[in-house]
Structure 1
Amino acid sequence: MREDSSSAHSNDLGSTSATSTGSKQGAVDYESVDSGYLEQRQLKQGTAGWILLAGLGVSYVISGDFAGWNFGFAQGGFGGMFIATVLIALMYGCMVFGLAELSAMIPTAGGGYGFARRAMGPVGGFLTGTAILLEYAIAPAAIAVFIGGYTGALLGVDGPIIYALFYAVFVGIHLRGTGEALKIMLVITAIAVLALLLFVVGMLPHFSWDNLTDMPVNTDAVGASVWLPEGYWGIWGAIPFAIWLFLAVEGVPLAAEESKDPTRDMPKGIITAMLILLLLGGLVLFLAPGGSSAALMADHAAPLVGALQHVYGENSVLATVVNVVGLAGLIASFFSIIFGYSRQVFALSRAGYLPRWLSVTSARKVPVLALIVPGVFGFALSLTGAGDLMITMAVFGATLSYGLMMASHILLRLKEPDLERPYRTPGGILTTSIALVLSVVAFASTFVVSREAALWSAVFYGALVAYFALYSRHHLVAQAPEEEFAALAKAEAELQ
């Protein structure tokens, strides 16, 4: 035990007392704080039922149906992208069942950090939480670039002014309160789904299998054909873009502390969201290139609009309507991932893994700086305009976190078989083992697509790890919910 009477230290904790005590546990040091600390870091509870959570899961991802996925055609053609999507759909399906169990069992705002913290200790929790944070901080920047592509096609306005406007407006809405933000998000998502249905109706009569195989064939590639124009290697290269059709659905557990009944609502919400995303992703994957041209889709900034313009003409009413309404899809994901990164930053900061001032909440029970600071970082990143590069960077963090979360599920099943599980994953550890193996393959694919993007991601991730190793591991907060979950488990084990 130790005592620290530094006033600066006291202010950082947000305590009403000038003293704090701590203890050393293995590779980390814990500090105890008084009630004033957690009173300044509270989220508004009971704002989300399972329907709203399912809407949140769809909104996280739905922008992937409107832009980004199509870059996979340049890597592997339609065949490569299709095979990659089947594998990734299997990975996400298995993972979602695992997350349904974990989120009902450990319902905290930390999400994946909380799961890994319970299974693998503070180091595992930090590595998982910051991998998720890397994904969620970068993904909105890529989406901002895609929003610029759609506004450019519609209004002729693109670039930094659009990125800044959207960040300012939607961070601002989140600052008004969680309930209001999630309800607005649900409305925007419903509009986006309507746009996709209009697209499906418009493209279905024009579908042709021949349109799927018009990519030039690389005759030097092993296994090359009209279905696999870049050969077998192209399947691997298409994986990050197949992930974009489902990326961020794992963020639903980040709303656990704000849900009405997480043990019941979390499994229903995340599984429902995944089923909807599978249907929408499959329709877009076939109809956009099948109704127009796979070659046209390969580098199009607004692929759904481009496909409709190819069929109905550049100034067609349907293409214009889908462009206008389709912006809702990009906005929905942009909006909801802002929610996701703020909750991940909030949880890591509240527990002391990140600077503690990031987790202070306002009178409306929202983490103000956890919304603003990553937003500034994302805006700066969006100025590069490299949407495809940022997809790969986001996938780097995402797939790393997937592997760690699935390992957490397996470890908890083995280490704590008697732990109360309100929902149990069908197939148990076999299901999550499949997701774990595929996540490792997907992680490796980021180096195939862009070594530059993977290395930049590693640099950002390394900087966060260095902060933990040099500073924050010595200043963790014992009373943070995720830490208390783990402490209780340890105490129970020692008693037994």
Structure 2
Amino acid sequence: MSNNNESGVVTYNEVSADYLDNRQLKKGVAGWVLLASLGVSYVISGDFAGWNFGLAQGGFGGMLIATVLMGIMYTFMVFGLAELSSSLPTAGGGYSFARRAMGPWGGFLTGTAILLEYSIAPAAIAVFIGAYVNSIFGIDGPLVYAGCYIAFIGIHLLGAGEALKIMMCITGVAVIALLVFALGLIPHFDVNNLLDIAVNTEAAGATPFLPEGYIGIWSAIPFAIWLFLAVEGVPLAAEETTNPGRDMPRGIITAMVILLIFAFGVLFLAPGVAGSEMMKDHGAPLVGALQVVYGENSSIATFVNIVGLFGLIASFFSIIYAYSRQVFALSRAGYLPRFLSITGERKVPTMALIIPGIIGFLLSLTGEGDLMITMAVFGATISYALMMLSHIILRFKEPNLERPYRTPGGIFTTGIAFILSIVAFASTFLVSLEAAMWAGIFYAILVAYFAFYSRHHLVGKVPDEEFAAIAQAESELS
């Protein structure tokens, strides 16, 4: 055992010579187009279901303002992540950035917050897939959820290149569904439909635009986040990217531009045709809006219903990829049990795909999609704050770090994203104290594991830890 401590915070263990040989990802399988597709794929399910619950919290006005604020937060955050991922291209993503900026504790707190988000989000999406399947075939529940996990984890086990290409095709089909939805509803849009939710006269500042008053804006934030949630996962593909310094910024920024267009498209069109009152708790809002105009059994509504499944599947499929890479990176460095990072002949982390999948399936059995959205947002917003803080710290701590891409506006940009992420984190307690408390318990369990065990059993000879060790050595020399 080597006591190579950072101020006594952690202990690094010696490992066998073939340790890293058994933990290798396939290099060069993704260029910027695949990365952009991956970014859209992570998020696109949010356009098909889940966002509309924000209408119940804040009405159209509250949801619109929340979406504008979160659109700013995510856009500015993406600019920061484009810089960080081009400078520190490892499979750890946010964990690697925070590890470099704030040490092992900062890295672990960030990585586990991301893991909390990515473990829970697929469970929520599985519930929404069940609602869509039920509307088409009359089948819902555990069989649908289990089928999703088994089928798509199985595809990922075939290899990263194969999985990412299949994911891009699925995402393309989902984009077609969104375009058909938009073209079908634009002629029938009526701005008066947006404001049909009854005004809560007891709420401060309540108007037809803000039926739940000012507090409704804050309450709608977790559901506005659902329109962008997980785009920050693109850097997790860094070790499998052809040229991270060039491809990462291009891919994640392109994805964000596309997602902004989709987000405001569905937000205006669905309630602008069917009414916010009808959309606020609809299980399949895009289909419901089309049915109002064209009839329940119309071909266009049926098409979007069936093809819309691909949007949910795309996000489900891609977030499985994301959680497996986050688990892989944390496990490879010893923060999580090391067996989770072992890769086979196809260079995929088998146990990092399967174990979180089992946990996600068990969570999906609750059927509480909106509750799990809030839990996922709890973890996500913690990671956002820590990643933006990492960008700010590294600008001061390591001004000479090679940065193939530099964030427009520098720390001012990421500082705004940091502030908005704190606001977004606080909103989870407002929407559902139960969800925030459950997420907090899961997070606390992981933190306790690190505090009492894994920080004494880390592995120094992995990319994320070596990056930090080099930086520390350079700092001591200077």
TM-score scaled by length of structure 2: 0.99
Is 1:24 matched with 2:36? no
Summarize deviations over 1:244-290 as a string: whole Å, max 9, x none.
00000000000000000000000000000000000011101000000
Q: Match of 1:276, SS?
A: helix
TM-aligned CA deviation for residue 35 of structure 1: 2.7
Answer yes or no: is 1:313 the counterpart of 2:330.
no
How far is the alpha carbon of 1:362 from its aligned partner?
1.2
Q: After TM superposition, give the deviation of residue 32 of structure 1 in Å.
A: 2.7
1:70 corresponds to? 52
Q: CA RMSD in A?
A: 0.6
Match of 1:255 in 2: 237
Distance apart, 1:395 and its partner CA: 0.2
Say if 2:302 is the partner of 1:302. Answer: no
Q: Distance in 2 between matches of 1:188 and 1:22?
A: 48
Query: Once the 2 structures are TM-superposed, how far is the Cα of residue 57 of structure 1 from its aligned partner?
Result: 0.2
Taking the aligned partners of 2:209 and 2:239, their CA distance within structure 1 comes to 46
| 1:371-428 deviation digits (Å, cap 9, x = unpaired) | 0000000000000000000000000000000000000000000111111111000000
Q: Aligned pair count?
A: 477
Candidates 207, 210, 219, aligned match of 2:189? 207
What CA deviation, in whole Å up to 9, does each residue of 1:87-115 have, x standing for no partner?
Answer: 00000010000000000000000000000
1:129 aligns with 2:111: yes
- Alignment gaps of 5+ in structure 2: none
2:452 and 2:401 map into 1 onto residues whose CA distance is: 34
**Aligned partners of 1:22 and 1:32 also within 8 Å:** no
Matched letter for residue 384 of structure 1: T
| 1:168 partnered with 2:150 | yes
* 1:364-379 matched pairs, under 5 angstroms: 364-379=346-361
Match of 1:486 among 463, 468, 473: 468
Partner of 1:412: 394
Residue 264 (structure 1) aligned with residue 246 (structure 2): yes
Q: Matches of 1:23 and 1:408 in 2, distance apart? A: 23
Do the aligned partners of 1:64 and 1:245 also contact (CA within 8 Å) in 2? yes
For residue 24 of structure 1, report the CA deviation from its aligned partner: 2.9
Deviation at residue 476 of structure 1 after TM alignment = 0.3
Q: Is the 8 A contact 1:139 1:394 kept in 2?
A: yes
Q: Which residue of 2 aligns with 1:53?
A: 35
Shift of 1:23: 2.6
The alignment status of 1:37 with 2:23, answered yes or no, reads no
Q: Which amino acid aligns with 1:395?
A: V
Matched, 1:219 2:207: no
**Correspondence 1:495 to 2:440:** no
Structure 1 SS opposite 2:20 = helix
- Provide the secondary structure at the position in 2 that maps to 1:35: coil
The CA distance in 2 between the partners of 1:102 and 1:187, in whole Å, is 28
After TM superposition, the structure 1 stretch with the greater mean CA deviation from structure 2, 302-311 or 425-434, is: 302-311
Aligned mate of 1:285, from 257, 262, 267: 267
- Please tell me whether residue 236 in structure 1 is matched to residue 230 in structure 2: no
- SS of 1:231's partner is coil
Shift of the alpha carbon at 1:495? 1.4
Greater than 6 Å deviation, 4+ residue runs: none
Cα separation, 2, equivalents of 1:50 and 1:452: 40
Report the AA paired with residue 290 of structure 1.
G
SS at match of 1:69: coil
- Matching residue of 1:99: 81
Report the Cα offset of residue 34 of structure 1: 3.3
Output the amino acid matched with 2:25: L
Report the equivalent of 2:343: 361
Give the conservation status (yes or no) of the 8 Å contact 1:100–1:425: yes
**1:292·1:307 contact (CA, 8 Å) conserved in 2?**
yes
2:299 is aligned with what amino acid?
Answer: V
1:88 and 2:70 are equivalent in the alignment: yes
- SS of residue matched to 2:399: coil
Deviation digits for residues 199-219 of structure 1, max 9, x if unmatched?
000010110011000111100
Partner Cα distance (1:283, 1:296) in 2: 18
Match of 1:477 among 444, 447, 459: 459
Partner residue of 1:435?
Answer: 417
SS in 2 for 1:42: coil
Shift of 1:31: 1.4
Q: Name the SS of the counterpart of 1:37 in structure 2.
A: coil
Distance in 2, Cα, partners of 1:361 & 1:308: 45
Specify the SS of the correspondent of 2:4: strand
The CA distance in 2 between the partners of 1:419 and 1:178, in whole Å, is 30
> Are 1:79 and 2:61 matched, yes or no?
yes
What is the CA deviation profile of residues 127-150 of structure 1, one whole-angstrom value per residue up to 9, with x for unaligned ones? 000000000000000000000010
Stretches of structure 1 lacking an aligned partner (at least 5 in a row): 3-20
Alpha-carbon distance in structure 1 between the residues aligned to 2:418 and 2:3: 36
Match of residue 14 from structure 1: none
**Cα distance in 2 for residues equivalent to 1:55 and 1:490:** 36
Matched residue SS, 2:115: helix
Query: 1:333 is matched with which residue?
Result: 315
SS of the residue 1:24 aligns to: coil
* CA positional deviation for 1:22: 4.5
2:408 is aligned to 426
In the TM superposition, 1:3-18 aligns within 5 A as: none
Task: Map 1:373-392 to 2 at 5 A.
Answer: 373-392=355-374
C-alpha deviation, 1:185, in angstroms: 0.1
Deviation per CA, 1:303-337, whole angstroms, max 9, x where unpaired? Answer: 10111111111101000000011100000000000
Matched, 1:184 2:179: no
SS of the residue 2:346 aligns to: coil
Q: Which amino acid in 1 is paired with 2:437?
A: L
The CA deviation at 1:494 is 1.2
Residues 58-116 of structure 1: per-residue CA shift (max 9 Å, x gap)? 00000000000000000000000000000000000100000000000000000000000
Q: Distance in 2 between matches of 1:98 and 1:32?
A: 35
3-state SS, counterpart of residue 328 of structure 2: helix
Letter in 1 for 2:467: F
Q: Give distance in 2, aligned partners of 1:311 and 1:333.
A: 28
